[in-house]
Amino acid sequence: MAEFIKLYPENPNPRAVQKVVEVLKRGGLVIYPTDTVYGLGCDITNIKALERIAQIKGVKLEKSNFSFVCEDLSNLSDYVKQIDTSTFKILKRALPGPYTFILPGSKSLPNPFKKRKTVGIRVPDNSIALALVSALGNPIVSTSIRDEDDIIEYTTDPELILEKWDNLVDIVIDGGYGGNEASTIIDLSNDSPEVIREGKGALDIF
């Protein structure tokens, strides 16, 4: 049974945030709000938790397209090769915001991702997500909560998410209704930016 924790975006309760972080550190899975759709996440340093998410999503961990949710751009070099000034300017303009940027992966990626040539980086404009990553001290590996329904792609109501995911995760955070439009994915790993998926993020950042 998942624990249901209410957090307010205006002022996420530090004690409740710490409680979620302790669960993440122990290898727990958490569903949490972002600036787009609700995400399923775990601690990037916990291999068992990463394997649990891959199993739920029905993918091999090494081949998964999970995003790294970061607090800001300060620790990018831990996961991303050195990027040029123009790429950094795009990131600075767009983040925090509803974007996933595909960037060239560094040699110091966590073990399951070692063979990756690229990684997806997210800095969501959501105070709950950022508070979790800040308190955890490293990125959360994350994937969107999708719905099997052909018409509704993403569930926006945290109570309905709890109903569906109750036995699969450890905590569901109620941060209010989520969005139903995913992030815009932009590949910055090559010479020129390429839009992989147009989502909530506008394309006027170039």
Residue 205 in any domain: the answer is no
**Angle at CA of residue 80, ends 78 and 81, nearest 5°:** 110
**For residue 96, is the peptide bond before it cis, meaning its omega torsion is within 30 degrees of 0?**
yes
Domain of 72?
3-197
> What is the domain-level CATH number for residue 147?
3.90.870.10
pTM for this predicted structure: 0.95
Distance CA 151, CA 129 (A): 27
Residue 202 in any domain: the answer is no
Distance CA 186, CA 103 (A): 9
Residue pLDDT, tens place only, 67-122:
999 999 998 989 999 999 999 999 999 999 999 999 999 988 999 998 899 999 99
Residue 94 in any domain: the answer is yes
pLDDT of residue 75: 87
Task: Identify which of 204, 194, 184, 148 has the alpha carbon closest to the alpha carbon of residue 34.
Answer: 184
Residue 66 in any domain: the answer is yes
Residue pLDDT, tens place only, 150-180:
666 788 999 999 999 999 999 999 999 999 9
**Backbone torsion region of residue 58, taken as left when φ is above 0, otherwise alpha when ψ lies between -120 and 50, otherwise beta:** left
Distance CA 37, CA 59 (A): 20
Domain count, the chain: 1
Residue pLDDT, tens place only, 14-49:
999 999 999 999 999 999 999 999 999 999 999 999
Residue 106 in any domain: the answer is yes
